Structure 1
Amino acid sequence: MLALQKTRPSPGFELREVPEPGVPADGEVLIRVHCAGICGTDLHIAEWTAGYESMGAAMPVTLGHEFSGIVERTGAGVPASMTGLRVTVRPSTTCGRCARCRSGHADDCTGRVGIGIGRAGAFASLVRAPAANCHALPDGLAMDVAALCEPMTVCAEAVATAEVAPGQKILVVGPGFIGQGIALLARAAGAEVVVLGREDAPRLEALRALGFRALVDTRDVELREALAPLAPFDAVIEAAGVPSLVAACLPFLRKRGIFTVVGIHPRPAEIDLTALVRAHQQIRGSYRAPPRTWDAVLAFLGDNQDTMRRLVSHNIALADAADGFEAARSRRASKVLFHLGNRP
């Protein structure tokens, strides 16, 4: 089968013919992938930015961790009734052996391995995954929209971490898919949303088409000039991965406000800690969501399929992966989806 792989610890990736996975291991299933999305993490891996050095031991490894598919085969210990089930999958697999796993706190596992990072991922026709990581799709939820579940759970976790509430004014920094998803969920929670980008016309226009009006592109206006009339914000959620924006946006957070960092940063950020202390503000990190969030997000996707499809800017074949990565890297894309099975 054709697979998009990271083969060496340096920039780039390769499309390669690889053997199909064999019989699933105990507790695992074999899934035929229908749709899989390019994530910001995939861009970092392709460009080989800092923070992914541990992948070296798994190479060559098939990328891809945002996906939907159909269970084709079950391993020992997995009910045969899962065969044919339409699923999406939590890509972070736990070890079951560390102290946190043994004490019933598997979400804090210290031996996690990511599908598409430390083990074979979904940029291929078939992928193996633990049955316990699978979430059945609601009836009526299309496979292409279901493939957006993983990044939308990241968005949901960020909104929860920021404690977004009705009537608040929220600044979302970065209009990539994670920023777009955060904006949608914050609006659904009853907040007024401002989205900040730079040279991000295509992605900001995607939000405009969904009814967002407070959209700022700092290509056209200086950041302070744009944000000062709109401040203070009850919460700022940073999804750009640009360290300088942390310090630049903190002054517009209200006293006792929450600044939530979702973006993956290539280097440390410098901030004025004295100002932070005197304003009694908090900085929080937000990453993956717990399992219970996945079913809630699947329900949201089912209720908002037309909206979510409007954020998928590129639907392409895996053979055109280079074009998809370039569209994502150049910020022309909101979301690139590979279609590996029949279109839903």
Structure 2
Amino acid sequence: MLALRKTSPEPGLDFAEVPEPIPQPGEVLVEVEAAGICGTDVHIADWTAGYASMTSAMPVTIGHEFAGRIVELGEDARGVAVGQRVTVRPSTVCGHCAACTAGDPDGCTHRRGIGIGRDGAFAALVRVPAANCVPVPDGMAAELAAMTEPLSVSMHAVDLAAVKPGQRVLVLGPGPIGLGIALFATAAGAEVVLAGVHDEARLTTARAVCDGTAIDLAGADLPNALAAAGQDKPFDAVIEAAGATAAIEGGLRQLRRGGTLVVAGIHARPAPIDLTQLVRMEQSIYGAYRAPVTDWSRVIAFMQRHQDRIQAMITHRLSLADAKEGFVLLRSRAASKVILRA
């Protein structure tokens, strides 16, 4: 079968014909119906800092946002059935380390990510642990179900910010994670401002998807752009999903005393932070990376209620054979979410 793979620790991805996988004990084989290209996949393709740990897994098929149908069960695969529609949490754990045996699988010291440390979903078939499968309602389109993973990160970021009705939330970065954050924060009753830089195509998508104000910072710094839009009051929460260090520094300046900054972007280099100001303003910083599996059913229920809005986030649909075109679209910020379909 055709697969898109990371074959060496340098920029680039390669197509290859690989054998169909065989599910191991406790695993299932999923026929991929839809898979999203994530910002992480672009970082892997470009080989930016922070992904050296996946070198030992190469060559490895990438892709970790996906949904499909179970077509085969491995020995002792429990709680699932052939023909069942699922999306898959991509964090796989060992089940034997101290964290796993203590009931903290997210602290697993041998955790491997599907599409990073083991073969992922940019192929026709992928083997995954049965325990990682999350049922998908029959009426939900596969491309929407494939959005569960990124939207789980968005929900987790809003949860960490403890967003409440009537609060003001500034979201920095109008990619899929940022769009999801804006959706969840709005649903929580907040007034949302979403900002990007030279990002008009994705901000156009944001205006179609989200309530609130969308601002392009091209040619203006953040304070002046916010003031011009009548949004110069301090924010209760700032949630960063841009992966740009300037967003951290600038976002903290827009935060009220006692406010919360949540960092959801992946950064290739450290960000400067004025710790004295942070202390005096009694502000908090959280990192949002991986939502607990219990959040996934909440995300799916949210998507069922807001299918039209989630659908509008998907701007491009391509075949697996054309996947590299999707990476070009994402690098140029011409696309919001690219879905690869069977």
Query: Where does residue 324 of structure 1 map in the other structure?
Result: 326
Q: Write the distance in 1 (CA, Å) between the matches of 2:49 and 2:88.
A: 26
Please, which moves more after superposition, 138-147 or 80-89?
80-89
Deviation, 1:221, is: 2.9
Instruction: Note if 1:184 corresponds to 2:183.
Output: yes
2:242 to 224, 240, 243: 240
Give unpaired runs (5+ residues) of structure 1. none
Query: Where does residue 48 of structure 2 map in the other structure?
Result: 49
Instruction: Note if 1:16 corresponds to 2:16.
Output: yes
Please, which moves more after superposition, 158-167 or 224-233?
224-233
Instruction: Give per-residue Cα distances to partners, 1:108-130, cap 9 Å, x unaligned.
Output: 21210000000000000000000
Query: Where does residue 269 of structure 1 map in the other structure?
Result: 271
Instruction: Give per-residue Cα distances to partners, 1:81-128, cap 9 Å, x unaligned.
Output: 611000000000011121011112212212100000000000000000
Q: Write the distance in 2 (CA, Å) between the matches of 1:223 and 1:236.
A: 13
Instruction: Tell me the SS of whatever aligns to 2:313.
Output: coil
Give unpaired runs (5+ residues) of structure 2. none
The answer to whether the 8 Å contact 1:74/1:80 transfers is: no
Q: Write the distance in 2 (CA, Å) between the matches of 1:244 and 1:211.
A: 24
Query: Where does residue 169 of structure 1 map in the other structure?
Result: 168
Deviation, 1:261, is: 0.3
Please, which moves more after superposition, 221-230 or 263-272?
221-230
- After superposition, the Cα gap between the structure-2 partners of 1:104 and 1:282, relative to the gap in structure 1 and judged at 3 Å, is same
Instruction: For 1:249-268, list aligned pairs within 5 A.
Output: 249-268=251-270
Instruction: Give per-residue Cα distances to partners, 1:196-243, cap 9 Å, x unaligned.
Output: 100110111111123534111111433221235432000000000001
Query: Where does residue 289 of structure 1 map in the other structure?
Result: 291
After superposing on structure 2, the runs of 4+ consecutive aligned residues of structure 1 that deviate more than 6 Å are none
Q: Write the distance in 2 (CA, Å) between the matches of 1:142 and 1:253.
A: 38
Q: Write the distance in 2 (CA, Å) between the matches of 1:15 and 1:190.
A: 45
Instruction: For 1:15-164, list aligned pairs within 5 A.
Output: 15-22=15-22, 24-79=23-78, 82-164=81-163
Q: Write the distance in 2 (CA, Å) between the matches of 1:13 and 1:241.
A: 22
Please, which moves more after superposition, 251-260 or 217-226?
217-226
Query: Where does residue 339 of structure 1 map in the other structure?
Result: 341
Q: Write the distance in 2 (CA, Å) between the matches of 1:338 and 1:45.
A: 17
Q: Write the distance in 2 (CA, Å) between the matches of 1:214 and 1:132.
A: 40
Instruction: Note if 1:206 corresponds to 2:205.
Output: yes
Please, which moves more after superposition, 95-104 or 190-199?
95-104
Instruction: Give per-residue Cα distances to partners, 1:105-157, cap 9 Å, x unaligned.
Output: 21221210000000000000000000000001123111111010000000000
Q: Write the distance in 2 (CA, Å) between the matches of 1:214 and 1:234.
A: 16
Instruction: Give per-residue Cα distances to partners, 1:148-207, cap 9 Å, x unaligned.
Output: 000000000000011111110000000011000100111011110000100110111111
Q: Write the distance in 1 (CA, Å) between the matches of 2:255 and 2:223.
A: 13
- Residues matched between the structures, number: 339
Deviation, 1:339, is: 0.3
Give the fraction of aligned pairs with identical amino acids, expressed as a percent: 55
The answer to whether the 8 Å contact 1:231/1:253 transfers is: no
Q: Write the distance in 2 (CA, Å) between the matches of 1:7 and 1:302.
A: 38
AA partner of residue 299 (structure 1): A
Q: Write the distance in 1 (CA, Å) between the matches of 2:56 and 2:78.
A: 32
- What is the TM-score when the length of structure 1 is the normalising length? 0.96
Instruction: Tell me the SS of whatever aligns to 2:45.
Output: helix
Instruction: Give per-residue Cα distances to partners, 1:272-320, cap 9 Å, x unaligned.
Output: 1111110000111111100110011011111211111111010000111
- Measured on the aligned residues, the alpha-carbon RMSD in Å equals 1.2
Q: Write the distance in 2 (CA, Å) between the matches of 1:117 and 1:145.
A: 22
AA partner of residue 326 (structure 1): V
Q: Write the distance in 1 (CA, Å) between the matches of 2:110 and 2:26.
A: 17
Instruction: Tell me the SS of whatever aligns to 1:313.
Output: strand
Instruction: Tell me the SS of whatever aligns to 2:86.
Output: strand
